[in-house]
């Protein structure tokens, strides 16, 4: 009897999943995303553009927080019923491989159904699993070095002196700037490893090996980066603060010279009307003693996923807009969402000089940077590894041995992975 019951339950699950995977063609698209002024605003423009040529297609854009999207995907996959999910949803780039690994039945394999030419290689890599594509790139998290040119001038430097430099050179400049202005070059939230992860990706380095195993205790690049970071903190070149709000405060109140951060930080800087014309951007410093190190990296961004069992043909047709230069030109002034699609850098909104940043065409510059960003491995346990590294660095800054701390961090992640 127990075997019969188990068989019935298994068949029920199979039938439920089969029903969920049967394509629903109802001429309507439902889209889940978050942030009314950014993602939703961009999708509303996409909706308007698409419906001009497809007036009979109904498109419903629903505001759903990122964490709620992740919860709903987990519930749907666990129940075997994908009917509760939309046709299209947005996924944080650093979470994409985790969810595609854990719930492969949810996300449509679009490898042979979508053209990825023109998108930055590193951006595309976030939504690739075992060589297959599951996501369509959206906004850039491309890192820029943004600096107050008036502060640099007081110390005898220009923005050109910060272009294509190494971290060793940055520390040298930072000491002079600190002496002449009394200000640190950068700031960041203590306990956060954003800066470390940015520096890691600029080297094409990851917290995991190609086979998915943890790469912390013997990661010489990571150790070198932690050494550079620790030096900046100890020399007063990098100011650690207690919260994200305090970090933003250092930019708004002018208590730091600049920041190296995902390009989305520029919208915050441009909101500071009294600082117009006092900023400019360039690329970030590179590690001088790491083979393959670059002046380019990424922090943040997201990609769109098409859900199996939905109106996938319609969803794919709609998402062709994300290969349309006119679309990116239209959304930039409204949303500040910067494309990862290289042809967009020729659009008028991208090539226009930006008065806030001394006339630099910052958006075209950022798209150019995007094409140079090395890819890295995130995997299903990326955030476990980040948290473990954060603890290791905090302890090291307080005097602990970094080799021992990274060994402990690797053990922690291995435990989370079940090893």
Place 1 in a pLDDT band, splitting at 50, 70 and 90. Answer: very low
pLDDT value of residue 26:
72
Domain count, the chain: 2
Its sign, for the CA torsion 18, 20, 26, 32, is negative
Same domain, 278 and 307: no
Domain contains 10: yes
Residue 358: which domain range? 2-141+300-370
Say yes or no: 137 and 148 in one domain: no
pLDDT in tens, 204-217: 999 999 999 999 99
Same domain, 258 and 393: yes
Say yes or no: 255 and 389 in one domain: yes
Q: Are 172 and 256 contained in the same domain?
A: yes
Residue 14: pLDDT band with limits 50, 70, 90? very low
pLDDT at residue 15 tops 70: no
Is residue 375 domain-resident?
no
Assess if residue 195 is contained within a domain: yes
pTM for the full predicted model:
0.89
Residues 362 and 387 in one domain: no
280-319 pLDDT, tens digit each: 999 999 999 999 999 999 999 999 999 999 999 999 999 9
Is 186 contained in some domain?
Answer: yes
Q: What is the pLDDT, as a whole number, of residue 9?
A: 37
Whether residue 63 sits in one domain with residue 23: yes
Query: Cβ neighbours of residue 299 under 8 Å, at least 6 residues apart?
Result: 141, 143, 194, 197, 198, 261, 262
DSSP 166: B
Of the candidates 284, 18, 52, 57, the one whose C-alpha atom is nearest the C-alpha of residue 167 is 284
pLDDT at 27: 87
Residue 104 lies in a domain: yes
* Whether residue 34 is found in the same domain as residue 98: yes
Q: How many CA atoms lie within 13 A of 332 on its CB side?
A: 29
Whether residue 30 lies inside any domain: the answer is yes
Let me know whether 136 and 275 are in one domain. Answer: no
Q: Please check whether residue 117 lies inside any domain of the structure.
A: yes
42 and 148 co-located in one domain: no
Tell me the per-residue pLDDT of 52-74, one tens digit each, with 9 for 90 and over.
999 999 999 999 999 999 999 99
* Domain at 26, CATH number: 3.40.190.10
376: in domain: no
Are 293 and 350 in a shared domain?
no
Instruction: State whether 72 and 221 are in the same domain.
Output: no
Could you report the per-residue pLDDT of 151-204, keeping only the tens digit for each? 999 999 999 999 999 999 999 999 999 999 999 999 999 988 999 999 999 999
């Amino acid at each position: 009897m127990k075997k019969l019951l188990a068989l019935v339950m298994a068949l029920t699950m199979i039938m439920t999943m089969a029903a969920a995977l049967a394509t629903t063609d109802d001429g309507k698209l439902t889209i889940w995303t978050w942030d009314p002024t950014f993602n939703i605003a961009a999708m509303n423009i996409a909706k308007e553009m698409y419906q001009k040529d497809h007036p009979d297609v109904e498109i419903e854009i629903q505001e759903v927080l990122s964490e709620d999207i992740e919860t709903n995907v987990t519930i749907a996959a666990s129940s075997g019923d994908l009917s509760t999910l939309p046709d299209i949803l947005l996924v944080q780039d650093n979470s994409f491989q985790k969810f595609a690994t854990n719930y492969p039945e949810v996300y449509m394999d679009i490898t042979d159904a979508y053209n990825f030419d023109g998108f930055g290689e590193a951006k595309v890599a976030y939504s690739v699993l075992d060589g297959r594509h599951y996501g369509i790139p959206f906004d850039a998290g491309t890192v820029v070095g943004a600096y107050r040119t008036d502060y640099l001038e007081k110390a005898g430097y220009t923005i050109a002196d910060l272009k294509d430099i190494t971290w060793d050179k940055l520390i040298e400049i930072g000491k002079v700037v600190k002496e002449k202005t009394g200000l640190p070059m950068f700031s960041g939230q203590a306990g956060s490893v954003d800066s470390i992860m940015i520096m890691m990706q600029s080297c094409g380095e990851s917290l995991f090996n190609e086979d998915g195993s943890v790469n912390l205790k013997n990661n010489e690049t990571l150790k070198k980066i932690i050494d550079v970071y620790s030096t900046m903190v100890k020399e007063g070149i990098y100011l650690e603060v207690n919260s994200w709000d305090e970090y933003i405060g250092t930019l708004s109140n002018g208590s730091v010279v600049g920041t190296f951060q995902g390009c989305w930080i520029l919208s915050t800087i441009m909101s500071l009307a009294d600082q117009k014309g006092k900023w400019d951007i360039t690329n970030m410093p590179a590690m001088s003693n790491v083979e393959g190190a670059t002046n380019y990296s990424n922090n943040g961004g997201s990609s769109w996923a098409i859900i199996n069992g939905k109106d996938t043909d319609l969803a794919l047709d709609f998402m062709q807009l994300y290969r349309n230069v006119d679309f990116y030109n239209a959304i930039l002034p409204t949303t500040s969402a910067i494309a990862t699609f290289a042809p967009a850098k020729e659009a008028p909104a991208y090539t226009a000089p930006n008065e806030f940043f001394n006339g630099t065409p910052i958006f075209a510059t950022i798209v150019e940077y995007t094409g140079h960003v090395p890819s890295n491995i995130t995997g299903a346990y990326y955030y476990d590894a980040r948290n473990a590294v954060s603890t290791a660095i905090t302890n090291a800054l307080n005097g602990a041995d970094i080799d021992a701390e990274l060994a402990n961090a690797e053990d922690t992640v291995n435990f989370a992975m079940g090893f």
